[in-house]
Structure 1
Amino acid sequence: MQKYLLVLFLFFFYQSSAQQYTDSVYRANIKSIELYNQSKAGSLPAINLNSGDKLVLGFDDLTGQTSNFYYTLEHCDALWNSSRLAPAEYLQSFTEDQIINYKYSSGTYQKYVHYEIIFPNANIIPKYAGNYILKVYEDGDQQKLVFTRKLYVLNSRVSVAATIVPSNNVQHRQTNQKLNFTVDFGQLRIQNPATDMRVLIMQNYRSDASILNREPNIIRGTQLIYNNVNANDFAGRNEFRYFDMRSLKAGAHGINRIYRDTGFSVQLNTDINRNGQPYEFQFDNNGNFFILNQDGSDPRVDADYARVFFSIDARKSATEGSAYVIGRFNNFKPDANSALKFDAASGRFTTMLLLKQGVYDYEYVWIDNATKQADDTVIEGSHYETGNDYQLFIYYRPPGARWEELAGFQQISTAKNQNR
C-alpha cells in the first residue's frame, strides 16, 4: 500500500511539475490572458536580448477583488525543461516582481479586475537568450501558481532560409505542407551539430503542431541543410473558423443570436464537419484572438464577457469519441474545459465558454475512443492551399555552457511562401 501511494504521489508530482513549463491556467477565475510583443497585439511573445523590446502581459480576475500577484521568469531548454540555473544566473536585477498595475472593469455586467505589466523593466531583466517560462503566483509564494506562459528571448547569431513545398509523399501532396531550410551558423563554434544546435518548427504558434530537428542531413561549410524527404511534413489543416464579438448590440460574422438578461449570451451558427469538402479560402488570424470592443473606448476594462454557445454537426457520436473546441484563446488544449457534450436529440456536440468581447479564431479537435489521439483533420479536413505561418526557432548550446540559447528565429508564411 505504501509503495502504491508513493507511486501515485510521484505521478501527480510529475504531472504538476510538467504543467509548470507550458501554457497553463490554475485558477478558473483568471481569464483573457494575453502576452505579446508591445509592437503588435497578438504577436509572438518574443524580444531581442539587451534591446528596447518590451512584452505586454494582461489578464482579468473575475472575482472582482484585487489580489497580491507576483511574477518571475525561469530559463528553459528547447524542449521546455528547466535549465536548472539559479535565478541570479539568468536574471540581471531582482528575481521576482509584484504586479501593481490594475484597473476595475467599467460599465460591464461581469465585474473583473484587469492586471497589466510591461517588461523587461527595472525589476525583471533576462540575462541570457533562450526559452523562458513566465510564472504568475499569489502572495509571493510560487506554490500558489495562478498561470504560466511561454516567452522567447532572442540573441540573433545565425541566419535562416526556408521554403514551403508540397509533401514528397504522394498520398499527402494535396493535404500537407513540407518545410526545407538551411541554417548558416557563421562564426559560431559548432563541434557537433547533433548536440550543439537544435531547430524547432512550429505552425501558427502551436506547440501541438511542432517538430524538433536534432541534426541536419547535410553539412556544407557553415551551412546546416535540413531537407530530408520525410522530415518536417505538416498537415496543412484548414482555415480557422471565426466569430466577431466586438459588439454585443448587433450580430456579426459567425453569430446567430445575442441574448441579454443578467448578462450576455451569444449563440454561434451551427458548424458542420468540413472533412472531405474542397478547399475554400476564408480570411482568418491563424488561430489567434484579439480583445476588442466597438461599444467602448478601452477594451481592457470596458469589454464585457458573454456566454458563448458552440455547436457542431460532427457526423459522429459520443460512442466513437469526443469533440473539443480549441484556439489560441485556450492554448489549443483539448481538455475538460474545452470539451463538448453530445446531444443525442440533435446529433450535435455543444458547449458554452465564457469569453471576453473580441474576435476569435477556433477549430474542432476529435479524440477517437480507440486511438486516444487528438486529430483536428477528422472534423476540419486538411489542404495544401491553407494559409499558415511557420516559426523556426534555432537553439544553440555554447561550448561548456549549461543552457541553450535562442540564436535564431524566422517566420515564413504560405501566403507569400517567402521569409518575412
Structure 2
Amino acid sequence: MKRVQFSFAIVLCLFSFLQKSFSQVIYDNRVYRPSIKTVEFYNTAKEGSFPVIGLGSNEQLLLAFDDLGSNTRTYNYTIEHCDAQWNPSRISPTEYLTSFTEDRIMDYRYSVSTYQKYIHYELVLPNRNVAPKIAGNYLLKVYENGDSGTPILTRRFYVVNPRANIAAEIAPSNNVALRQTNQKINFQIDFNGIVIQNPYGDVRVAIMQNARSETTQLNTRPTFIRGTSLLYSDISANDYPGGNEYRHFDTRSLRLNSERIARIFRDTVNTVLLLADRSRIDDNYLFNYDNNGGFYVRNQEGSDQRVDADYAQIYFNLGMPGATTGQDVYVVGKFNDYVLDQRSRMNLDAGKGRYFFNTPLKQGVYDYQYVLVNKDGKPDYTTLEGNHFETENDYQILVYFRPPGARWEELIGYRLLNSGRK
C-alpha cells in the first residue's frame, strides 16, 4: 500500500512540475523561436487538412517544421488534454495518455542544394511512445533539450470519439443589413445512445471559420430541444462575415515568374518581389480558387520538396493612399498562424502611401490576407479585403460532452461544412 501511495505521489509531483513549466505557454498554434519555419500539422490522409483523428483509429497526424541553420538540436515533445475553451483539464497525464508523458523527435534531415541551410524535422502522432487515451482537445508542445520551459512551438489537435451526428446548413444572415456579406450557420445534433441529462450544461459546441482559432464561437445553450436532438438556430449566433477569397502567390519555381510574381533575384539568397496589392473593399465578388488561408510546400525543380525546396525573402507591398501612423497593417495566413505581432506587421512609407513587409518563406503556394488595426486595437479583417456572402469558406463544428460527475470534456462529434458545397 505504501509503495502505491509513493508512486501516485511521484505522478502528481511530475504533473504539477509540467503544468508549472508550461505556465507561460499560449494554448494555441504558436511559434516561439524565429528560426522555426514552415510548420505543417495535419491528418496524414490529406495534406493540409484539419488536425483531427478518431479515438482508437489508425489515423495519424504529421508534424513537420524547419529549423534554419546547419546544426541539429534535441527536440522533445508532449501533449496535454484541454477543455472546449482550451483551458488545461487539470488531470494527470496517466488519465489521458496510454504510454510515456514525453518523447524525443528522432526524424530529421539536412537540406540539400539550397541557399538557405536548414534541418527538416518530422513527427507522427499517435505513436508507440505517446498516444492519447481519451477523446478531446489536445495541445502538442515541442521544446528543446527536455526543458519544458523553453517551448519552440505549440499546435492544437483534436481526438474525436464519434457519438453524435451533426446536420448543418449555411444560410444568409437573419439581419437584413448583413445578408449580402454574412454566412450564418444553423445545425442540429443527434446523439447515438447518449443520455443527456442537462443539455444546457453538459454539451458545448464550438464553430470555427477556416480553422482559425480567433473566429471560434462557443454555443452553450441549444435554441430548441426535440427528443434526443438539440437544435441551434438562434437569430444572432454563429453569424460570420463571409470575407473574401484569399490572395495568393506561387513560388514553386524560382526560375520563372508566376502569376503574382513581379521579379525574382538569385544571388547568395533568393529574393522575390510580389506585384503591388491594393484594397478590395469596393470590388464586386469574384470567385478565385484558394486554399482558405493554407499553404503547400512545393518545388518544381526538385525531387524531395521537404529538403530541397529553398527559402526566399518574400516582399509584400500594399498601396493605401492617405494611410496614417495610427493605422497598422499586418500580413497573415496559415504560414504565420494568423498572429498579429511584430513578425507580421508591415512598415508604412507615408510619402508613397504604401505599406511594405518581407519575410522568409519556403518554396510553395501560399494564401494570405491583409488585416487593418486602428487605434482602438481591434482587428478589421474586411476593410482591406472586402466582405461577401458568396465567399467559399470551411467551417469546423466540434461537439463536446461532459458526463455528470466527469472531470474532463470529451469531443464526441466533428463536422466539416463548406459554404461552396451543398
Give the TM-score category using the shorter length.
over 0.9
| CA distance in 1 between partners of 2:210 and 2:269 (Å) | 33
| CA distance in 1 between partners of 2:24 and 2:166 (Å) | 31
Aligned to 2:69: 63
Q: C-alpha displacement at 1:399, in angstroms?
A: 2.0
* Matched residue SS, 2:153: strand
Letter in 1 for 2:397: L
Aligned to 1:400: 405
Q: Would the aligned equivalents of 2:325 and 2:348 in 1 still touch at CA under 8 Å?
A: no
Aligned to 2:388: 383
TM-score (norm: length of structure 2): 0.93
Whether 2:349 is the aligned partner of 1:305: answer no
Matches within 5 A, 1:8-407: 17=23, 19-369=25-375, 371-407=376-412
| CA distance in 1 between partners of 2:284 and 2:25 (Å) | 38
* Matched residue SS, 1:301: helix
Letter in 2 for 1:72: T
Aligned to 1:4: none
Matches within 5 A, 1:403-414: 403-414=408-419
Letter in 2 for 1:147: L
| CA distance in 2 between partners of 1:158 and 1:21 (Å) | 26
Compared CA separation, residues 315 and 174, structure 1 to 2 (3 A): farther
* Matched residue SS, 2:41: strand
| CA distance in 2 between partners of 1:381 and 1:356 (Å) | 28
Q: Would the aligned equivalents of 1:181 and 1:227 in 2 still touch at CA under 8 Å?
A: yes
Gaps of 5+ in 2: 1-18
| CA distance in 2 between partners of 1:225 and 1:161 (Å) | 10
Which string of whole-angstrom CA distances, capped at 9 and with x for unpartnered residues, describes residues 179-238 of structure 1? 110011232121211221111110011111221111101011011000111111000000
| CA distance in 1 between partners of 2:82 and 2:361 (Å) | 31
Q: C-alpha displacement at 1:253, in angstroms?
A: 2.1
Q: C-alpha displacement at 1:316, in angstroms?
A: 4.6
TM-score (norm: length of structure 1): 0.94
Q: Would the aligned equivalents of 1:71 and 1:137 in 2 still touch at CA under 8 Å?
A: yes
| CA distance in 1 between partners of 2:55 and 2:280 (Å) | 43
Q: C-alpha displacement at 1:243, in angstroms?
A: 0.3
Q: Would the aligned equivalents of 1:71 and 1:97 in 2 still touch at CA under 8 Å?
A: yes
Aligned to 2:15: none
Which string of whole-angstrom CA distances, capped at 9 and with x for unpartnered residues, describes residues 103-129 of structure 1? 000000000000111121110110010
| CA distance in 1 between partners of 2:228 and 2:59 (Å) | 30
Which string of whole-angstrom CA distances, capped at 9 and with x for unpartnered residues, describes residues 109-152 of structure 1? 00000011112111011001010000000111101111100011
Which string of whole-angstrom CA distances, capped at 9 and with x for unpartnered residues, describes residues 307-344 of structure 1? 00001113451333100000111111111110001012
| CA distance in 1 between partners of 2:262 and 2:342 (Å) | 25
Letter in 2 for 1:375: D
* Matched residue SS, 2:183: strand
Compared CA separation, residues 54 and 385, structure 1 to 2 (3 A): same
| CA distance in 2 between partners of 1:110 and 1:91 (Å) | 38
Q: C-alpha displacement at 1:37, in angstroms?
A: 0.5
Q: Would the aligned equivalents of 2:224 and 2:232 in 1 still touch at CA under 8 Å?
A: yes
Q: Would the aligned equivalents of 1:189 and 1:399 in 2 still touch at CA under 8 Å?
A: no
| CA distance in 2 between partners of 1:218 and 1:186 (Å) | 18
* Matched residue SS, 2:200: helix
Which string of whole-angstrom CA distances, capped at 9 and with x for unpartnered residues, describes residues 4-43 of structure 1? xxxxxxxxx99x8464311111111111111111111100
* Matched residue SS, 1:377: coil
Q: Would the aligned equivalents of 1:189 and 1:398 in 2 still touch at CA under 8 Å?
A: no
Letter in 2 for 1:396: F
Gaps of 5+ in 1: 1-12
Q: Would the aligned equivalents of 1:314 and 1:379 in 2 still touch at CA under 8 Å?
A: no
* Matched residue SS, 1:208: helix
Runs of 4+ in 1 over 2 A off after TM superposition: 16-20
Compared CA separation, residues 316 and 125, structure 1 to 2 (3 A): farther
Letter in 1 for 2:81: H
Which string of whole-angstrom CA distances, capped at 9 and with x for unpartnered residues, describes residues 256-308 of structure 1? 11011111000001111001221111110111101111110111100000000
| CA distance in 2 between partners of 1:189 and 1:263 (Å) | 61
Identity over aligned residues, as a percent? 51
Q: C-alpha displacement at 1:99, in angstroms?
A: 0.5
| CA distance in 1 between partners of 2:67 and 2:296 (Å) | 18
* Matched residue SS, 1:143: coil
* Matched residue SS, 2:88: coil
